[in-house]
Amino acid sequence: MTSQQKWERATLADWVPDLVATARGDLKATLAVINATLVNVVSGEIIPNMCIAVQGSRIAYVGKDINHTLDENTVVIDAKGKYAAPGLLDGHCHIESTQLTVTEFARAVLPLGTTGGFFDAHEISNVLGLTGLRFMLEEARTTPLAAYMQVASCVPSTHPGLETTGAFIGPDEVAEALNWGPDMIGLGEVMNFPGVVYGDDKMIREIQATLRAGKYADGHFTWKSDDWRLPAYAASGVSGDHECVTKEDVIERIRLGMYAKMRQGSAWHDVAETIKAHTEGGIDTRRMMLVTDDRSSESLLREGHMNFVVRHAIAQGVKPVTAFQMATINTAERFGVSQDIGSIIPGSCADIILLDGRLADVNVVMTIAAGIVVAVNGQMTTTWEGYSIPEEAFETVHMGRQLVAQDFEIVAPVESGFLYARAIEVVENHVETKERKVPVKVEGNRVQLDSVDDLCKMAVFERHGKNGGSALGILMGVGLRIPAAIAMTVAHDSHNLTVIGNDDHLMAKAANLTAEMQGGVVMVTETETTVFPLPIGGLMSPEPFETVAHQSEAISQALLRAGCSLNNAFMTLSLLALVVIPEIRLSDKGLVTISAEGIEIVSLFDQEGEIK
């Protein structure tokens, strides 16, 4: 283990004299990689017997022979039989979705070959506003990652009448945050796409503030790709979008000059379909990016991060060097930082990974970040000074009272009989849901759900201490087969207390336990209780990566034992309150539908569909 490091990523201008002197041989390299097979993502070539000379945190020289740059003090790494590639970049990621702090996220992904990324901290921003974004940025600066932050564009995700958040971010806040430094790279995903298309003043002015600062606006457009409103959305200056689920989505965005981000998260598996825009449609890949969006800590532990996504893209028929381009140079060019990251060229930051075996296996055996070896064979080899999370990030769950079983009773508009109700159907491995009309039994003005029909309840309670509002809904597709309930403060994006279950008493128990531990996840049945504390904003844990991954996995296993076999079930369930994703969601304000016509609150019951 090396001594603690401070990570300084000075600009290229600051390094010019030393880099040129090193390339001449007058100043000797601090680190060198020799005998490597270079993955040149700029030219698209695989070049054998290449060497890389590093001065400090930057690459000074790339060539066949760098002996003139070496002396006895140079750290020399012989990469014979290995590939050298630029460190992988995640072009759209929410660190909070891992339930890890930025420090622990860095510890998790650096050994996997991820050396940087573009992070939208809109989860913590919906709880704490700019305070949350600021501490995420400050912590990121203490890590070896080339971490770029985006200002959350949608706090709330749409207008306040549809949900209650813990904070508000508008055009003035966006302008302020973009002045915090060059690592504030732009505006996070603009989820209120109807607002943009139809001229919502807040959204338009946020985009304007971003463009005037010379920064980049990211998108989130879920209407069909052949809809006339996609070009209108692109006209606003939104130039990248990760809500691509078909090859047509990718093609239409690229035709409009946007970057198409192809997502392989824990619970949303879109790469196999979207990559067909290239493998079947022949579309140029320069504006295609591979991203994770949301990836759980257990997925990081069991599968990997961007190394997993690149490997998966190659398995779909993409040439290995092309897949690497989609996770390096394309991403850097999209955000205007290709001079600094995304390739192994003179002047660039020395973010380099060595890979063993076939390139297609993406088997990372060494990670170099900012010119320092930080991981070898999957293990961190360096440490850095820790970051103290500010006090205001804790104690963020303000419920006001204990919940009881009666809070979960769904009151019907008839005394008895049957009614049709709108149910939210969960779609495995996808972010969207389906609206279904289902018959429900009513006794004593209360809905009686039958687990045989795979129906259960969902409740959302405002937890930020704003208004104490709540709403109830019906889910299908969760699969609970025994009395059970799960409660969570991870409920994108407003992160109110969300409870799902088929037993009112257990739902109250899970909810109260979650509130008592100031956020996290609680899964209860009649015989067991599984807890996952997340005291930082109700979203993240201060515990080490490995501990968090095992706690997350314990929730997954508890859900499975209760009958919920959805892939990455917890992450899927955590999106059921995100009111900007079609077709239907539940917020603390009520049942929300999202269609081509817009977003609106609707009644749980279809009065016209009453069964006589």
Does 370 fall in a domain?
A: no
Using the predicted structure, report yes or no on whether residue 612 has a pLDDT greater than 60. no
Do 441 and 335 share a structural domain?
no
Q: For residue 201, is it left (φ>0), alpha (ψ between -120 and 50) or beta?
A: alpha
Using the predicted structure, report yes or no on whether residue 462 has a pLDDT greater than 90. yes
Task: Show the tokens assigned to 399.
Answer: 């419920």
Do 477 and 331 share a structural domain?
no
Do 268 and 159 share a structural domain?
yes
When pLDDT is averaged across residues 192-217 and rounded to a whole number, the result is: 96
Residue 318: predicted pLDDT? 98
Residue 160: predicted pLDDT? 78
Does 205 fall in a domain?
A: yes
Cβ–Cβ < 8 Å for 189, 122: yes
Do 167 and 240 share a structural domain?
yes
Per-residue confidence at 451, pLDDT binned at 50, 70, 90?
A: low
Give the separation between CA 373 and CA 386, rounded to whole angstroms: 19
Using the predicted structure, report yes or no on whether residue 166 has a pLDDT greater than 70. yes
Task: Show the tokens assigned to 81.
Answer: 């039989």
Q: Among 340, 360, 386, which residue terminates a domain?
A: 340
Report the chain's terminal Cα–Cα distance, integer Å: 73
Residue 150: predicted pLDDT? 98
| CATH number, residue 119 | 3.20.20.140
Give the separation between CA 109 and CA 21, rounded to whole angstroms: 33
Identity (one letter) of the amino acid at 580?
V
Per-residue confidence at 343, pLDDT binned at 50, 70, 90?
A: very high
Q: Considering the chain, what is the average pLDDT of its residues?
A: 95
Among the listed residues 309, 347, 346, 305, the one whose alpha carbon sits nearest the alpha carbon of residue 326: 309
Does 524 fall in a domain?
A: yes
Per-residue confidence at 35, pLDDT binned at 50, 70, 90?
A: very high
Total count of domains within the chain: 2
Identity (one letter) of the amino acid at 157?
S
Do 316 and 415 share a structural domain?
no
DSSP state of 377: T
When pLDDT is averaged across residues 360-372 and rounded to a whole number, the result is: 98
Cβ–Cβ < 8 Å for 87, 367: yes
Task: Show the tokens assigned to 505.
Answer: 């008493």
Residue 436: predicted pLDDT? 95
Give the separation between CA 173 and CA 139, rounded to whole angstroms: 20
Do 473 and 335 share a structural domain?
no
Do 556 and 480 share a structural domain?
yes
- The predicted-structure confidence for 473-491, as pLDDT tens digits, reads as follows 999 999 999 999 999 999 9
Using the predicted structure, report yes or no on whether residue 8 has a pLDDT greater than 90. no
Does 190 fall in a domain?
A: yes
Helix (H, G, I), strand (E, B) or coil at 195: helix
Helices (DSSP H) in 165-214: which residue ranges? 171-177, 193-197, 201-212
- The predicted-structure confidence for 544-576, as pLDDT tens digits, reads as follows 999 999 999 999 999 999 999 999 999 999 999
Residue 6: predicted pLDDT? 63
The DSSP bridge pattern shows strands 590-595 and 584-587 to be: antiparallel
Give the separation between CA 554 and CA 22, rounded to whole angstroms: 52
Using the predicted structure, report yes or no on whether residue 2 has a pLDDT greater than 60. no
Does 186 fall in a domain?
A: yes
Report the interhelical angle of 102-109 vs 545-561 (nearest 10°). 90
Residue 586: predicted pLDDT? 97
Does 289 fall in a domain?
A: yes
Using the predicted structure, report yes or no on whether residue 386 has a pLDDT greater than 90. no
Using the predicted structure, report yes or no on whether residue 178 has a pLDDT greater than 80. yes
Does 428 fall in a domain?
A: yes
Does 267 fall in a domain?
A: yes
Give the separation between CA 523 and CA 162, rounded to whole angstroms: 27
Kindly state the percentage of the chain with pLDDT values over 70: 97
Do 421 and 314 share a structural domain?
no
Residue 161: predicted pLDDT? 87
When pLDDT is averaged across residues 303-309 and rounded to a whole number, the result is: 98
Say what the pTM is. 0.95
Q: What are phi and psi of 161, to 5 degrees?
A: -70, -10
Do 410 and 330 share a structural domain?
no
Residue 611: predicted pLDDT? 46
Do 423 and 321 share a structural domain?
no
Task: Show the tokens assigned to 128.
Answer: 């704490």
Task: Show the tokens assigned to 156.
Answer: 């709330």
Among the listed residues 246, 290, 327, 302, the one whose alpha carbon sits nearest the alpha carbon of residue 568: 302
When pLDDT is averaged across residues 584-600 and rounded to a whole number, the result is: 90
For residues 127 and 431, the model is more confident at 127
Give the separation between CA 126 and CA 156, rounded to whole angstroms: 7
Question: Tokens 């739902």 identify what position?
Answer: 507
How does DSSP assign 427-494, residue by residue?
Answer: -TTSS-EEEEEEEEEEETTEEE--GGGTEEEEEEE--BSS---EEEEEEES----SSEEEEES--TTT
Using the predicted structure, report yes or no on whether residue 1 has a pLDDT greater than 60. no
Question: Which structural domain range is residue 461 located in?
Answer: 405-609
For residues 463 and 5, the model is more confident at 463
Task: Show the tokens assigned to 557.
Answer: 């296993």
- The predicted-structure confidence for 38-62, as pLDDT tens digits, reads as follows 999 999 999 999 999 999 999 999 9
Backbone CA torsion sign across 540, 543, 549, 555: negative
Per-residue confidence at 607, pLDDT binned at 50, 70, 90?
A: low
Using the predicted structure, report yes or no on whether residue 18 has a pLDDT greater than 70. yes
Q: Among 340, 365, 393, which residue terminates a domain?
A: 340
Q: Among 291, 312, 340, which residue terminates a domain?
A: 340
Do 146 and 294 share a structural domain?
yes
Do 296 and 414 share a structural domain?
no
